[in-house]
Every structure is written in C-alpha cells, then in structure tokens.
Amino acid sequence: MWLWTLGYFILMAKITLVLTVVLLLAAYLVLVERKLLGRFQARIGPNRAGIFGILQPIADGIKLLVKEDVVLDGAERGIFQLAPVIVASMALLTFAIIPFGKPIIIGGHEIPMVISDINVGLLYAFALTSLSVYGVALGGWASNSKYALLGGIRGAAQMISYELALGLSIVPVVMMAGSFSLVEIVNAQAKWPFIIVQPLAFIIFFISALAESKRIPFDMPEAEAELGAGYHIEYSGMRFGLFFLGEYVQMQVLGALIAVFFLGGWRGPFLPGPIWLLIKIIGFSIIMVWIRATLPRFRYDQLMTLGWKILIPAALINIVITGVFIVAF
Amino acid sequence: MQPIIVIGFLNNMKVLIEIAYALYMGFYTTLKNLFRGPFTEEYPEYKRPLPARSRAQIILTSDPDGQERCVACYLCSAVCPVDCISMQAAEADSGRRYAKWFRINFGRCIFCGLCEEACPTSAIQLTPFFENSKRDILKMVYEKADLQVDHCGKDKNYNFYAYAGIVTKSAGKGEHVKEEKPVDVRTNMP
C-alpha cells in the first residue's frame, strides 16, 4: 500500500514538473518569438516590461485573465466554450508520453523519467494531435461568424492534407525501432539518431509538423491577412489565451516528437537528458520562428498538392526502401 | 533514352535548382537581418531632433524689439480649416493693434500650418514641439498667455511695424524703413 502511495506521489511530482516546465516554456516562447521576429525585421521587440521584456509574458497573462470573456449571442454556447479547452488540453496531454531522461534508480526501484510509457505511445500522440483539430473546426463553427467558419473549414482541410504524410513518414522509424513506445524509440537511437539514416522521413515529418502547428507558412486557419484571425476571431480573454497557449505548447510537442523520433530524444553527450530534450525543443522552436520570418503563407490547395502529390508518395517510397534495407541487412 | 525525356528531366532539375536557390536566398536574407541589429529609435529615451520647420505646437512670437507681433488681423482665424483659432482685436494707445484675447483649441488643431502661411506679421508660428497631449480636454484650449513667447521664432529679423507705414508712437510718417518723407504734391506742379 505504501509503495502504491509513494508511486502516486512520484507520478504527481513528475506531472507537476513537466507541466510547470511546459507552461513556463510556452509563455517564454511567446517572448522569444516576438524578440526574434523583431530582430529578423531589424526591430527590437518587446523591451518595456522588465529588463529585455522579461515580464512581458506575465503582463500578457494578467491582461488575458482580467479581460471580459465574451460569448456571442449567436454562438453555440457549449461548443464555443469547449473548443479552446480541447486545443490546449490535447497539446498538454501529449507530453504524458515524451521521455525526458534516463530512468533513475532509487532504493532498487527503477523510476522511469516519463509520465506514462504507453506501448502504443506513437498512436496516442497522433490521436491527440489530430483531435486538437476538432478544437479549431468546432471553435470556428460554433462562433457563428463567416471568418471563423472559413478558418475552421481550412483547419479541417489542412488536417486531411498533412496528417497522412505525418503518419506515413514515421513508419520507417517504427520499423527500425520495432516498437510504438516512445521510450523504446529513444532507446533504439542509442548508437546514432535516426536523422542520419532517415533524412527523407525527417524532412517529410518536419514539413508535416509545420502544417500541424498551424503556423506560417501553413497558417491558413488563422490567416490574419484574409480572415482576421480565422477560427479564434470571436474569442476574447482567457479563452483566446487557451488557443494561444495551445499553439505554443503544440510547438513544443512537435519539437519534442521530432527530437524523440529523429534526434535521439533526451540522448546527447555531456549534459543530462532533460537539458538535451529542452535544447532540442527550443532549437526546433527557433527554427520555426526563422521559417515564420522568411516564408509567406501557402494557399490551401497548394498545401493539398504538396501533401497528396509529393509528401505521401515520398513517404511511401521511403517505407519501401527502408523495408528492403531491413530485410536485406 | 529519348532526347525529349532528357530535356524534360533537365528542365525539372532547373526548376528544382531555382526553388532551392530561392529558399536559400530567403533564409539567408532573414538571417542577415538577424545579425544586422535593430534600427529602432527608442522614443522616450532618445528623441530624434526634428527639422525646424516640422509642424506641431503653435506659438505667438515677438518682434526683435520685444513687442507682440500679432496685429489681430483675423487672417489665421479665417484660413483655419477646423476653426480652432479665435481672438478679439484691440488698439493700444501707441497706435499698435493687438489681440485683446487670443485662443487656440488644440483639441481641434490639425497642425496644417495654414495659419502660419496666412500670417502677415510672422506672429503665429508652428514649432517642432509635439508632446502636448493632455488627459483633460479642457486643458487643450490655450489662451494668449500660454501661446505668447518672447522670442522671434523662425523669422529672426522681421518687424512688421518698422515696414508697415502705419503711424505709431515709435515711427511717424516717412520714418519707416525704405520709406521716403511725404511729398507736398503741389511742389510737383510745373
């Protein structure tokens, strides 16, 4: 019984740790992004709240919390209120399966440095990232506004173009690791990260992950130039904040997934595991900011062409080649 | 291999190379900007010196000898497109005209500079000082005491009454600059 209680507390401690890091990082990614975008455009970026604008996320958070939470008369009330929760919670839940370090051994008991090592973790991750599209589509539909509806429809259209390529590009990784469990996939990369043997899969996954994150150049659901703010145009206060938070947590999720599948997860020389995972996540986020600063937005028929005519065939060919190599050697 | 297929393949390669080059140039350009440093001037800490003729806060200037320039001719008030200038004319014992009261409503003023152009005596002038916002809108109404300054502004030498040919205590008939003594017309007769 006491062992069960202890295990419960250890689990709670791990959840607290991961949530704290993820949420803090999400808040400060906003600042990093604004600062970096400023520099990319030869501006300074926010620097008024505290030194280097270090208090800016806190100020933004307070602002979002105290603003009025408007629910429109014409909106489908329940769904309208549920949509941002779906987006934010699906993004956060994905972190349950990301391994963030070597298991520690205390008193003969092995404590895995992952909240939950599901043996179909990869499917769980894809299920959650796909579910978060429901938040976008439902939020857009429930807003009872044409711009939001267009944004939601685009979100769904975008999902069917990248999701298949996203899933197929990972199949070679699963074939090489021989497991759906993220812990096993990381362990399979003990010798070398999969990016070396699977560069094509990495590129396909990276492009699909950009589309998954709904950021420039694939921000058709948001498209502030054409649709105002797209699916979250009618949201205000902390409900908008949840969409916003969801986007930045999603960036981290995708960074973490790329790290786990291709860059060896928490593995790396000299530094401890969690630090390496953080470095990889932040590096991926910075590359996403760079891409945002450089590329214009695609049309969504262009994304569909890219997804169906290029990425999916490339991923299929990659699977066949990997299969041949695995059988041959 | 068919020559057409070879040409098609080469064309495709050309397109691919063009795409790769375009991507490279795009990312290179943004990266270059990242290390170029910001151009931003941080306003409250650094105030860019504005050109002398930039148009903001309005003043009423004085003659080089220190007297008010404004002769209350109403031209600025008439030309003002938003009707923000009002005044009342009066005449001093010395013979000089002046504004009994002079009022500019800066809540309305659009800083177009037409009053400055209309002014025959260079009295009303626009200055580069623009930080004149207020929390209370009634404080945006400036009276003559708030507007009158004791320097010449942009027009350093001009003194209207020295040229005008109007008889005041300081100068009688024929005593102004570039003015000759009055001639008795009868002496011109043959």
Same domain flag for B67 and B155: yes
Using CB atoms, which residue from A42, A290, A295 is nearest to B38?
A: A42
CB contact under 8 A, B36 and A294: no
Structural contact between residues A265 and A99, judged by C-beta atoms closer than 8 angstroms: yes
Residue B79 lies in a domain: yes
Residues 6+ apart with CB under 8 A from A125: A94, A97, A182, A253, A257
Instruction: Quickly state the pLDDT bin for B117 (edges 50, 70, 90).
Output: very high
What CATH number has the domain bearing residue B91?
A: 3.30.70.3270
Same domain flag for B19 and B111: no
Residue B48 lies in a domain: no
Same domain flag for B153 and B78: yes
- Work out the minimum CA distance from A290 to partner chain B, whole angstroms: 8
The tokens of A245 are what? 């938070």
Same domain flag for B36 and B77: no
Of B44, B96, B100, give the one whose Cα is nearest residue A48. Answer: B44
Position B104: which residue type?
A: I
CB pairs under 8 A between A and B: 31
pLDDT tens across A275-295, in order? Answer: 888 898 999 999 989 998 888
Structural contact between residues A281 and A25, judged by C-beta atoms closer than 8 angstroms: yes
Of A18, A21, A164, give the one whose Cα is nearest residue A97. Answer: A18
CB contact under 8 A, A294 and B33: no
CB contact under 8 A, B34 and A36: yes
pLDDT tens across B121-148, in order? Answer: 999 999 999 988 899 999 999 999 999 9
The pTM for the full model equals 0.79
Residue B174 lies in a domain: no
Which residue, among A35, A41, A210, would best test binding to B if mutated, counting the most B CBs under 10 Å from its CB? A41
Same domain flag for B69 and B99: yes
pLDDT tens across B2-35, in order? Answer: 666 677 777 788 888 998 999 899 999 888 888 8
Same domain flag for B82 and B118: yes
Same domain flag for B38 and B64: no
Range of the domain at B6: 1-42
Residue B50 lies in a domain: no
Same domain flag for B116 and B66: yes
Residue B173 lies in a domain: no
Same domain flag for B83 and B31: no
Structural contact between residues A300 and A157, judged by C-beta atoms closer than 8 angstroms: yes
Using CB atoms, which residue from A40, A43, A44 is nearest to B30?
A: A40
How many structural domains comprise chain B?
2
Same domain flag for B72 and B115: yes
Assess whether pLDDT exceeds 90 at residue B59: yes
Same domain flag for B155 and B93: yes
- Work out the minimum CA distance from B33 to partner chain A, whole angstroms: 5
Same domain flag for B27 and B66: no
pLDDT tens across A33-80, in order? Answer: 998 888 888 888 888 888 888 898 889 889 989 998 888 888 888 888
> What pLDDT was estimated at residue A101?
80
Largest CA distance in chain B: 116
